[in-house]
Amino acid sequence: VQKPFPENFLWGAATAAYQVEGAIEEDGKGISVQDSKNFSNYFHDTTVTSDHYHRFREDIALMKTLGLKSYRFSIAWTRIYPDGETLNPAGVSFYNQLIDELIKNNIEPLVTLYHFDHPQSLQENFGGWYSEQMITHFLTFAVTCFHAFGDRVRWFMTICESNNVVLYPDLIGGVPAGIDVEVWRFQVSRVMALANARVIQSCRKLLPQAKIGPCIGYAIAYPATSAPQDVMAALNEDEFRTFYPLDLLCLGRQNPTVVNFFACRGLDIRLSPTELEEIKGANPDFIAFNYYQSDVAKACPDESEEAQPGFNQEGKKGGFVYPRFPGLYAGDSNPYLERNDWDWEIDPVGLRIACRKLFDRYQLPLMITENGLGARDTLANGEINDAYRIDYLQKHVEQMQLAISDGVPLLGYYPWSFIDLMSTSNGYNKRYGFVYVDREDSDIKTLTRYKKASFYWYQRLISSNGAL
């Protein structure tokens, strides 16, 4: 017997500005670190993407048909502060229109303040998140958003996947020349923790009725075998990759294992008592987490050779480069799980485990802000039969219900993505949406929207409040 989904459960769907909006030079928008890495005829090109900037009314009408209770989108920092310094009222006006349209259609906005796209000028001027100067800029931007949108937006997320961006520096503009990557990682973690804390506190002051939380990407770690060294490796992965930033923001402490690991290697990552005090005061309302897959960790002795983690851009199974962190853990494949075309392991039960681990450790309500299956969809006679996506999502929803039955307070579910958009690592080759967009990486085509089979499945699921 299972508990039903709560009455007010936020059945949502998610996108991010640079992956869906396009219009990168319109109405005063500045160039972001995402725009500056545009490649011609390659998978990363933000200029048009799904043209949501011009078609948001049509897209919101589709959300309405889908029955969405909530829509998670991000605010492009460079529309509001094109160069990081000067306010651009036209950018504020765009999001006002978008938010008004959502409210008019009874769709609750969930705003991500930062989704990998800070102004390129801040990257060039002082190295972006590597510098503390970023905190003031981010706070100014966030406060502007609170003032401008806080009368209609009740849900905010601060920084998307602050844990993964430190692992993959290219997601946020890269490591400035001459800086050691390990030093960069801890500096960025520190700056992001302080930025998170200040933004959460100022939201609390300005918008006492709003709810705000940090966001992480959580690939839970399984030990490769029952060998104690592998169990230790899995614990290392969880602590270093996921718990470190959450311990800071939600428990107000630096994870001791992480601090001591680096202390033994000559790197002092301790924050000052004042910084810790400030972070301790953040008290987020919930934890947002993105879940696609689980990981496997095996022992990785100190002396083994380091390989940087990499994305499999070829889409060939077996082509994934597993990360190795000497002294901590090395990634491996899981023989018990199916994978998508990019070697991401499909693990619905892992979602329940993730919910249990996070709630047990932090005792905060949880929001699943991304979950989905990247695939190569085919449009045939105006239809897309993405049965594989329905299967993936349905199994994850079943596990969410089990987690709720376990007693985990889940606030909402935002599959990635509402509509096809430019995948971070694979452009339009890898689609996630309930809505298909007629375009390829190198050919913008008509950009016409088509409802996929998963659209109708999700519509039924929402209308029955998750009763499968």
Is 269 or 288 the residue whose CB approaches ligand BGP more closely? 288
Catalytic residue among 161, 237, 239, 345: 161
**Cα(285)–Cα(212) distance, integer angstroms:** 6
Residue nearest to ligand BGP (CB): 423
Q: How far is the CB of 216 from ligand BGP (least distance, A)?
A: 10
Two structure tokens written together for 462:
């929402």
CB of 38 to ligand BGP, least distance (A): 16
Residue 175 within binding range of ligand BGP, rule CB under 6 A: no
**161 in catalytic set:** yes
**Stretch of 156-164, 181-189, 346-354, 381-389 lying at the interface with ligand BGP (CB under 6 A):** 156-164
| Distance of alpha carbon 249 from the chain centroid | 17
Find the helix packing angle between 181-206 and 133-149, rounded to 10°: 30
Nearer to ligand BGP, 10 or 215 (CB): 215
Which of 416, 434, 436, 458 touches ligand BGP (CB under 6 A)? 416
Q: How many residues bind ligand BGP (CB under 6 A)?
A: 14
Build a one-symbol-per-residue string for 202-221: x at contacts with ligand BGP by CB under 6 A, - elsewhere: ---------------x----
Residue 249 touching ligand BGP (CB under 6 A): no
DSSP letter for each residue of 243-293: IHHHIIIIISS--HHHHHHHHHTT---PPPHHHHHHHHTT--S-EEEE-S-
Contact 161, 75 (CB under 8 A): no
Q: Is position 424 an interface residue for ligand BGP (rule: CB under 6 A)?
A: yes
| Residue 45 binding ligand BGP, by CB under 6 A | no
User: What are the C-alpha distances in Å from 57 to residues 14, 15, 102, 145?
Assistant: 16, 15, 9, 21
Among 51, 117, 161, 377, binds ligand BGP (CB under 6 A): 161
How is residue 130 annotated by DSSP? Answer: G
CB of 186 closer than 8 Å to CB of 258: no
User: Any catalytic annotation for residue 182?
Assistant: no
Cβ closest to ligand BGP, residue 278 vs residue 341 = 341
Report which residue type is found at 186: F
> Quick one: residue 407, left, alpha or beta (phi over 0 = left, psi -120 to 50 = alpha)?
left
What residue type is 234 in one-letter code? A
Q: Where does this chain touch ligand BGP (CB under 6 A) — which range of 360-368, 382-390, 418-426, 436-444?
A: 418-426
Site track for ligand BGP across 69-108, x = CB under 6 A = ----------------------------------------
Are 233 and 299 in contact, with CB atoms under 8 Å apart? yes
Contacts of 30 (CB under 8 A, 6+ apart): 78, 79, 81, 82, 83, 84, 88, 119, 120, 121
Strands (DSSP E) found in 18-154: 70-74, 108-114
Binding residue for ligand BGP, selected from 13, 16, 107, 346, defined by CB under 6 A: 16
Alpha-carbon distance of 73 to 214, in angstroms, equals 15
Q: How far is the CB of 447 from ligand BGP (least distance, A)?
A: 19
Contact characters 351-390, ligand BGP, x per CB under 6 A: -------------------x---x----------------
Catalytic machinery residues? 161, 370
Footprint of ligand BGP (CB under 6 A): 16, 19, 160-161, 164, 217, 290, 370, 374, 416, 423-425, 430
